[in-house]
């Protein structure tokens, strides 16, 4: 550590909080599973009793519709807490594992130890869910936590801040609000685990900061999640499911379908079914139903998404549906674009907004190659009735998660590990997998006292020992 880094830590406003959590985390490590469950119940009950406050905060942040808040912010948190409460005894129990013959007489087991003080940094797009889910996992594993919400969703950040003040002492769970500087001050402390959800670009900054303290990380990142609609797909079913998965939260979902390969034999029919579904779900007498459609989170992102749309037109792409953007309201219509070249921004950047490009294809091998030549996606969706095609896609394309004939819903199964690969993330979360992310899997070998098999191999090394060792090296 150089002098500048040392000075930064010494003047860090969060050092006292961090130190107090460190002392508490030592006590929690020795605490009971019953105590952890009681805390999870506090969270579950608070969320259940304060739905209206959560709905209001999300409306104030980006006019997120009530049903979407209930489905994507509240229900997953309540379900995750319930799942952890029901399973924690089983997850946390030490597990016996086999012991090899060379260690005859010994027993082996894995013990799940809390990591200690954890930092959870969240993005703005699901600002309640993405702070609370990792917190539930951190508490289930017996840790303390500092939560850093996104500054772009201040109402939800304040609500979670108030919630934690009401439920926990700050030496156990504390929200720290702030912008990039705050995040960087926190990142310079030697946390025992950092759980970061956000963009790949900031993920690299987080990992670099964590490396300085050799802190373990879970990085839940983003990227472009592709969709494949093959020639056997049920067109109406696929269109219904894609519209919901893509345009919920105004397309601002890490696992939102980002671009769609459609087999050329069904392209036109699929495109018109998509328009039909969009009209049915989001329009009333020719105008967009603003109550059922969230807004882009702020002006900066509004400008970013509209400039991606302008680029589509500049490079010769076609706006096949929607395309209207209302500045001042951060409203962008659900939009379908076609005929976009691979080099266009809409095909290169994570869209993170309500634009869906459709691309015609003829060969599934070509599609697999095209996806595999890009950074590994967080999610991959395939709509097909062909067992051969779906098996091929699952086997040949690397992705964090896959849905067959569905989009985004793998997130909601707490028994499935959630996370990306390389550019889309490192490590997994949800349920048991999240509990493991926040735990140290401690190996415990218990040896008998007196004669043990390995004592036969102690020096001095005579001929008999050498021969015996050769036998062991070959056969055991
Ligand atoms: P972001 O990376 O800009 O910000 C995330 C958090 O990091 C915020 O709390 C922010 O204050 C902080 N931050 C920003 N710049 C920082 C810096 N230089 N140093 C330290 N901290 C910094 O992401 P975002 O715009 O809030 O969210 C969108 C991104 O998150 C998308 O890429 C999306 O795909 C991804 N995401 C991933 C998941 C997932 O589960 N994998 C879920 C939601 C969003």
Q: What is the 3-state secondary structure (H, E, C) of the chain?
A: CCHHHHHHHHCCCCHHHHHHHHHHHHHHHCCCHHHHHHHHHHHHHHHHHCHHHHHHHHHHHHCCCHHHHHHHHHHHHHHHHHHHHHHHHHHHCCEEECCCHHHCCCEEEEEEEECCEEEEECCCCCCCHHHHHHHHHHHHCCCEEEEECCCCCHHHHHHHHHHHHHHCCCCCEEECCCCHHHHHHHHCCCCCEEEEECCHHHHHHHHHHHHHHCCEEEEECCCCEEEEECCCCCHHHHHHHHHHHHHHHHHCCCCCEEEEEEECCCHHHHHHHHHHHHHHHHEECCEECHHHCCCCCCHHHHHHHHHHHHHHHHCCCEEEECCCEECCCCEECCEEEECCCCCCHHHHCCCCCCEEEEEEECCHHHHHHHHHCCCCCCEEEEECCCHHHHHHHHHHCCCCEEEECCCCHHHHCCCCCECCCHHHEECCECHHHHHHHCEEEEEEEECCCCCCHHHHHCCCCCHHHHHHHHHHHHHC
Mind listing the pLDDT tens digit for each residue in 321-377? 999 999 999 999 999 999 999 999 999 999 999 999 999 999 999 999 999 999 999
Q: Rounded distance, CA 110 to CA 475, Å?
A: 26
Q: What is the pLDDT of residue 6?
A: 59
Could you name the CATH architecture of 3-221+428-440? 3-Layer(aba) Sandwich (3.40)
Return d(Cα 183, Cα 249) in angstroms, integer. Answer: 25
User: What mean pLDDT comes out for the span 144-160?
Assistant: 98
In this predicted structure, the answer to whether residue 1 has a pLDDT above a threshold of 60 is no
Ligand 1 atom at minimal distance to the Cα of residue 400 = 41
Integer Cα distance of 270 and 282 in angstroms: 18
- Cβ atoms 398, 372 nearer than 8 A: yes
What is the pLDDT, as a whole number, of residue 143? 98
Ligand 1 contact via 258 beta carbon (within 6 Å): no
Kindly state if the Cβ of 171 falls inside 6 Å of ligand 1: no
Distance, CA 367 to ligand 1 centroid (Å)?
29
Q: Is residue 7 over pLDDT 70?
A: no
Radius of gyration of the chain (CA): 26
Q: Is 254 a catalytic residue?
A: yes
Nearest-atom number in ligand 1 for the CA of 152 is 26
Tokens linked to 49: 């009793």
> How high is the pLDDT of residue 9?
58
Q: How far is the CA of 462 from the centre of ligand 1 (A)?
A: 62
Is 403 catalytic? The answer is: no
pLDDT tens digits for 62-71?
A: 999 999 999 9
- Which is the catalytic residue, given 73, 220, 271, 350? 220
259: how many CB neighbours lie within 10 A of its CB? 19
| Mean predicted confidence (pLDDT) in 248-269 | 98
Nearest-CA residue for atom 24 of ligand 1: 123
Weakest-pLDDT range from 10-14, 102-106, 291-295, 389-393? 10-14
Residue 187 Cα, ligand 1 centroid: separation in angstroms?
Answer: 14
pLDDT grade for 31, boundaries at 50, 70 and 90: very high
pLDDT at residue 4 is higher than 60: no
The CA–CA distances, whole Å, from 422 to 223, 398, 409 equal: 11, 10, 22
Q: What integer is the mean pLDDT of 419-437?
A: 98
Among 10-19, 183-192, 270-279, 366-375, name the one with the lowest average pLDDT: 10-19
Q: Say which of 73, 118, 172, 254 is annotated catalytic.
A: 254
Q: Which of 198, 248, 300 to mutate to test the pocket of ligand 1 (most atoms within 8 A of CB)?
A: 198
Q: Which CATH architecture has domain 230-418?
A: 3-Layer(aba) Sandwich (3.40)
| Range 13-36 average pLDDT | 97
Q: Where in the chain is the domain with CATH 3.40.605.10?
A: 3-221+428-440
Positions of CATH 3.40.309.10 in the chain: 230-418
**% of the chain with per-residue pLDDT over 70:** 98
pLDDT of the residue at 11: 86
Cβ–ligand 1 distance for 254 under 6 Å, the answer: yes
Average pLDDT (207-211) is 98
Burial string for 4-38 (b: 16+ CB within 10 Å, else e) reads: eeeeeeeebebeebbebbbebbeebeeeeeeebbe
- The residue ranking higher by pLDDT, 362 or 9, is 362
Give how far Cα 75 sits from Cα of 78, 83, 108, 353, Å.
Answer: 5, 12, 39, 23
Q: Report how far ligand 1's centroid is from the alpha carbon of 248 (Å).
A: 19
- The pLDDT value recorded for residue 373 is 96
Express each pLDDT in 164-190 by its tens digit.
999 999 999 999 999 999 999 999 999
d(CA 292, CA 295): 10
pLDDT mean over 102-115: 96
- Could you give the percent of the chain with pLDDT greater than 90? 96
Supply 307's token pair. Answer: 């400039």
Q: Which residue has the tokens 């697999």?
A: 368
Tell me what the mean pLDDT of segment 187-199 comes to.
98
Task: Kindly list the distances between the CA atom of residue 421 and the CA atoms of 122, 378, 395, in Å, as whole numbers in the listed order.
Answer: 19, 7, 15
Mean pLDDT of the chain: 96
Cα distance between residue 258 and residue 73, in whole Å: 21
Closest CA to 92 of 74, 119, 112: 112
Q: How far is the CA of 121 from the centre of ligand 1 (A)?
A: 8
- Kindly tell me if the per-residue pLDDT of 19 is higher than 60: yes
pLDDT score of 306 more than 80? yes
As given in the structure block, the two tokens for residue 89 are 């005894």
Residue 5 clears pLDDT 90, i.e. is over it: no
């Amino acid at each position: 550590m150089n002098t500048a880094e040392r000075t930064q830590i010494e003047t860090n406003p969060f050092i006292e909080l961090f130190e107090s959590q460190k002392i508490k985390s030592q006590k929690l490590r020795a605490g009971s599973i019953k105590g952890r469950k009681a805390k999870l119940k506090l969270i579950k009950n608070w969320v259940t009793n304060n739905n209206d406050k959560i709905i209001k905060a999300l409306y104030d942040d980006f006019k997120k519709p009530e049903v979407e808040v209930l489905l994507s912010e509240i229900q997953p948190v309540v379900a995750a807490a319930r799942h952890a409460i029901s399973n924690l005894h089983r997850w946390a129990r030490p597990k016996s594992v086999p012991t090899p013959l060379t260690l005859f007489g010994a027993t082996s087991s894995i013990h799940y130890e809390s990591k200690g003080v954890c930092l959870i940094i969240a993005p703005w797009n699901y600002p309640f869910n993405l702070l609370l889910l990792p917190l539930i996992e951190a508490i289930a594993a017996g840790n303390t936590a500092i939560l850093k919400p996104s500054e772009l969703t201040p109402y939800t950040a304040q609500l979670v801040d108030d919630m934690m003040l009401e439920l926990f002492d700050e030496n156990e769970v504390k929200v720290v609000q702030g912008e990039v500087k705050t995040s960087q001050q926190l990142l310079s402390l030697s946390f025992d685990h950092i759980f970061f959800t956000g963009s790949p670009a900031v993920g690299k900054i987080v990992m670099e900061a964590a490396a300085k303290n050799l802190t373990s990380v879970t990085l839940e990142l983003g990227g472009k999640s592709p969709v494949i609609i093959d020639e056997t797909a049920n067109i109406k079913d696929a269109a219904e499911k894609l519209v919901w998965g893509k345009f919920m939260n105004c397309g601002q979902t890490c696992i939102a379908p980002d671009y769609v390969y459609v087999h050329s034999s069904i392209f036109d029919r699929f495109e018109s079914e998509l328009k039909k579904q969009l009209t049915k779900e989001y329009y009333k007498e020719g105008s967009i139903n603003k109550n059922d459609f969230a807004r882009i989170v702020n002006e900066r992102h509004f400008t970013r998404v509209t400039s991606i749309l302008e680029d589509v037109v500049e490079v010769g792409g076609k706006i096949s549906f929607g395309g209207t953007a209302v500045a001042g309201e951060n409203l962008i219509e659900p939009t379908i674009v076609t005929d976009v070249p691979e080099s266009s921004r809409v095909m290169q950047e994570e869209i993170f907004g309500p634009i869906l490009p459709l691309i015609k294809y003829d060969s599934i091998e070509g599609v697999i190659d095209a996806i595999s030549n890009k950074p590994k996606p967080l999610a991959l969706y395939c709509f097909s009735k062909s067992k051969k095609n779906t098996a091929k896609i699952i086997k040949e394309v690397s992705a964090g998660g896959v849905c067959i004939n569905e989009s985004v819903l793998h997130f909601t199964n707490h028994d499935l590990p959630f996370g990306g690969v390389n550019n889309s993330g490192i490590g997994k979360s949800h349920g048991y997998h999240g509990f493991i992310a926040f735990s140290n899997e401690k190996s415990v070998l218990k040896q008998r006292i007196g004669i043990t098999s390995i004592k036969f191999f102690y020096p001095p090394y005579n001929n008999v020992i050498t021969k015996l060792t050769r036998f062991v090296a070959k056969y055991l």
